[in-house]
Structure 1
């Protein structure tokens, strides 16, 4: 990868994260049941990776770039972080969506007559937007610093957590009565939005260099919003609280090790 070509790098990296989602979704073709323990541990693991990635791969570079640009070290990351969380909160209230396992009357967002399958797909797509955005922004920042290690590690970490996440989407859909192919399609298509988010993030940061620390903070805030709003409540709701929590710790430690050992 060439640091000077962040848009291509972001595209390749998010294609990788999508392929990992596809691989996880393909588990629906195997004789694997959507055991609640498996789903809760997978979601907990994904939460741990996302929390660690938000700090090590996004907020720390945002702080460093703020200092290099002569800003107060805390200001751009803090403003970006809050903006990212508030943006996802607004999206959550506007776009109709339904989380797996919920009844249709529990759909969030604006009222709609859309079918359950579309609402389930939108819920996961909203979840995946910040992940793609984070990868794109990180590669955009790498074009200025010349350091590719951090965005590559971020993409690797998100790809690793997308593997169980793809299964956590397709297996419950299969359990709700969808065919194997439809469950697989919804599971892997939900990861395609990461490519769009990655391209948007890289183009924005590459075009407006001053926005880099704000954008890194924005991506971190959006990811943390998803973790707190969706992933943690869902993985704690099935009664496997200790398993989900330990899985989150393992995910966090894995991402931390990747970032520190390979950077």
Structure 2
């Protein structure tokens, strides 16, 4: 236990393994259901969007601004530069990584053209979401090594729990459509949980970068926030409202925001 407490990188690994586990838990829904009611799915997508929006401010941007101010920097510069950098980074990945959103024909796959199967493209779409989520958790735990009062273990745990909660619908959003397309339950589950593998990887990378280069911490926190907001605005919100369940998706987002805010304030 002492080793875990003294190693933010190890803490980041364990936290992102937890978020991966919740993704797998969501993917396991396929063993019980062949499809998810679209209204329920839209509520869950809205909830995920709300969690990510709240986490972007309460767990990432706000601490980044406070840290920059405490270190004598102009507070808004790291926040603005990092935030836009994260959005541009995800924009570039979105244009390069082949992926397909649930419910769209394969002809509308995004990224570079490829002959990959529809199932792989669906998994990659959710994997794209998980890159900034893992990075955010890793940076939050890596920040503990700096010793600033804004970086707390409780706050990092709150972020990991919030990201974990919203990973449940993401796992289900991969495995259930694959089952509906004729995959066996076991294969659909394996594909669904595989979308979360990138979280421990990006989490450890984020923690290592912050631990080795303390000066980039406000930028790194803001970068993760920008990447998450890009995912929310570009994918989660449009997807949650595509079937016209606007009110349900919006209320899901409100609940998600509130849950993440409560977690961060209570634990952070």
For normalisation by structure 1, the TM-score amounts to 0.97
Distance in 2 (alpha carbons) for counterparts of 1:176 and 1:40: 20
1: CA distance between counterparts of 2:163 and 2:191?
19
What is the match of residue 210 of structure 1? 215
- Verify: 1:105 aligned to 2:107, yes or no: yes
The more displaced of 145-154 and 127-136 is 145-154
Whole-Å Cα distance in 2 between the matches of residues 4 and 225 of structure 1? 33
Which one of the candidate residues 166, 174, 183 is aligned to 1:178? 183
Alignment of 1:35-184 (within 5 A): 35-145=37-147, 147-184=152-189
List structure 1 runs of 4+ shifted beyond 3 angstroms.
1-4
**What's the counterpart of residue 245 of structure 2?**
240
Which stretches in structure 1 are left out of the alignment for 5+ residues? none
Counterpart residue number, 1:258: 263
Corresponding residue to 2:17 among 15, 18, 36 = 15
Q: Bigger shift: 96-105 or 248-257?
A: 96-105
Deviation at 1:203, TM superposition (A): 0.5
User: How far has the Cα of 1:122 moved from its partner?
Assistant: 1.1
Cross-structure match for 1:34: 36
Number of residue-to-residue matches in the alignment: 263
Once the two structures are overlaid, the 10-residue window that deviates more, 223-232 or 25-34, is 25-34
Per-residue CA distance 1:22-58 (angstroms, 9 max, x = gap)? 1111011014632101111110000000000000000
Q: Is the 8 A contact 1:133 1:198 kept in 2?
A: yes
Give runs of aligned pairs for residues 187-226 of structure 1, distance below 5 A: 187-226=192-231
- Cα shift at 1:192: 1.0
RMSD over aligned CA atoms reads: 1.2
Structure 2 length normalisation: TM-score? 0.95
Offset from partner CA, 1:127-185 (integer Å, 9 cap, x none): 11000000000111121136211111000100111122211221122122222112111
The worse-fitting range, judged by mean Cα deviation, of 193-202 and 143-152 is 143-152
Partner Cα separation in structure 1 for residue 79 and residue 235 of structure 2: 23
Partners of 2:111 and 2:170 in 1: how far apart? 23
Counterpart-to-counterpart distance in 2, 1:257 and 1:92:
31
Alignment partner of 2:73: what SS?
coil
Give SS of 2:146's match: helix
Contact 2:34 2:179 in 1 (8 A): no
1:208: how far off? 0.5
Q: Please list every run of 5 or more consecutive structure 2 residues that lacks an aligned counterpart in the other structure.
A: none
